[in-house]
Chains A and B, each alone.
Chain A
């Protein structure tokens, strides 16, 4: 009983000890904040990777693919129908993207994924990533509403806004060509090469909104297969349609007026671009074709956003010659599968492996496909945790020092208690429970502080931004309107328990010293 009473009294009268647990408190709060933000980010990242890939991916080793998508899907259904919710066939191949921006040709290496948008959106949340389905944020506010209702199935048609842009651009292009032709005829009449230059300059400066206007249909597309019926309707889209990763067609810049980061779009929905890939023949041959950007996708994974292009499956198969001339069946390179329950993924992978021979196919879950990246994130988070826990451990030494001083200060009282019959164990438990009480208070306050910080993290971020005048969390860099956080109760509990354990451990040494004090020596001190 006296232990509890004394412990409580010490807690209320020794404020210096409370100072020692401020570091425990801050350590706990920091750990909770960092863990929550890290797991928020990592959760988002996993979400994005998972969303772009699929639960399980079956890939053929050869870029030529395997014949007959329906047959392959049937095989997959046969072995694991109970687990499978949806399957979609895709063709994955490497290629090159060319487009004209501000008078120069931009060339980027890409991975082309031929998909059927309806099927793909059943396998993963495709709409979540497409620009036209999502509002655009600027300074934390919506600056553009979503262009399409969330219920619409994704397809290969332009949104009204993209149509408007395309018509406008082609009209300008026509006008420009007419002007050019007029000038040309004038020049033929009189030698007016100077006039032509002037006209060209004037046009370029007055038309910054559509920088790609400079002759997109010039000779690179002359041989493109998609251009066959271009003449019928000048507004008609190219036969190839793509969703292009935002990193491929934009670059970030700092707005000189506001100092905020912005994205400059080099090409946008409605523009035509040139895509080159290889045919499925032996040997593979160069296969360029023309495609219209239907939409831009942002997964938030830079790796994907700056290398992936989703294109229409049938056109890709046509261009690559993945049609069997005899049967008309189309070849594919991979199947994306969504499971009913992802927890059974490994069992499904085993079943699929038995049906798809390993010399032709690789069957993997999305996690296995992204193994190194996910492992790196996990290691990073583990190292951070170790470092932060060391902060709390350092705080433990503060507790140790202060406790030692308290024991010295309380030497006489310890002697009295022993004279009154208190056992050594009892004296020890006074200081141990004092340490525990400090740990409980410290980690309790730390937990509350940390959770409050996480809860109001966006308000705090905007406050810091306001004070420093510099954006701490830039949505154009991270693609999030807000800082993502995820609080796991198990994490909070283990951090709090760890801090309490350290407080108790730090008080063991002073408590042992107190317990070993000889009562006569202790009493003699004055």
Chain B
């Protein structure tokens, strides 16, 4: 833990997280005392086998779930015990999510999907009054991920890589501080997957965006600056790659 003192400030921190799920009558412990620190502006990947608890950890860190024991701290302040409304707001403003199955809304077009976090943030009236600039912002994000030619398409009309890039644009449009990616390349072929990682790397470098990526693919994981290996619900090892 000595490296934390030398490194940039801790952005997101998991302290002694315990989490178990009930599976019928059995209680399955998924996380057993996980400590993890994500530094500001770093690209951290979380690797582990299926069932090692990496996705659960990501969900806990992103406030999609709450831990049984332990704390989540954002810039040193505990956030996991906040009221639901505040946590909703944090998810909307602070975290950006990217999922393995893209999770775009099938009824909405690409641009509407990208705009959806902003629609959630603002009331109908506020959204209506600033719809032009919000749309502008969404268009910039879509351009950044290279999908400007696909604005009016439904998710079903897009390819896997395009859908994932759309999901990234959606997570960025809300201008989050942290991007949480859950197997972003899991459903894509190697080339497309690398393209997505290239995009994430670029965002990390250009905008100093903190990225926490969960993957089970060693090759993908190696591209991150820092790598945390999770096993049996515990942090197994932490590798650090020279910048």
Contact = CB atoms under 8 A, between A and B. Distances in A.
A523 B64 contact: yes
Contacts of B93: 421
A412 B119 contact: no
Contacts, number: 78
Contacts of A4: 124
Given A421-B88, A423-B88, A1 B122 contact: yes
Nearest to B97: A419
Contacts of A415: 103
Contacts of B133: none
Contacts of A426: 120
Interface string B74-94: 000000000011001111110
Interface in B86-115: 88-93, 97, 99, 101, 103-108, 112
A3 B122 CA distance: 11
Instruction: Indicate the member of B59, B106, B107, B123 with the most A CB atoms within 10 Å.
Output: B107
Contacts of A9: 107-108
Instruction: Indicate the member of B117, B120, B123, B174 with the most A CB atoms within 10 Å.
Output: B120
B62 interface: yes
A519 B64 contact: yes
Contacts of B64: 418-419, 519-520, 523
Contacts of B89: 421
A488 to B, nearest CB: 35
Instruction: Indicate the member of A4, A6, A419, A424 with the most B CB atoms within 10 Å.
Output: A419
Contacts of A1: 119-120, 122-124, 127-128
A258 interface: no
Contacts of B107: 6, 9-10, 13
Tell me what chain B mostly uses at the interface: helix, strand, loop, or mixed. Answer: helix
B105 A416 contact: yes
Contacts of A418: 64, 88, 91
Interface string A507-526: 00000000000111001001
Nearest to B91: A421
A2 B112 CA distance: 9
A200 B121 CA distance: 102
Nearest to B105: A413
Interface in A399-444: 412-413, 415-424, 426
Contacts of B121: 421
Contacts of B117: 420-421
A188 interface: no
Given A1-B127, A9-B107, A420 B92 contact: yes
A421 B85 CA distance: 9
B116 interface: yes
Contacts of A417: 105, 116, 120
Nearest to B170: A420
Contact of B103 (A3, A412, A518): A412
A413 to B, nearest CB: 5
Interface string B53-69: 00010010010110000
Interface in A126-142: none
Interface string A1-35: 11111100110010000000000000000000000
21 contacts: A1-B128, A4-B124, A6-B105, A413-B105, A413-B106, A416-B103, A417-B105, A419-B62, A419-B64, A420-B117, A420-B170, A420-B174, A421-B88, A421-B92, A421-B93, A421-B121, A421-B174, A426-B120, A520-B65, A523-B99, A523-B103
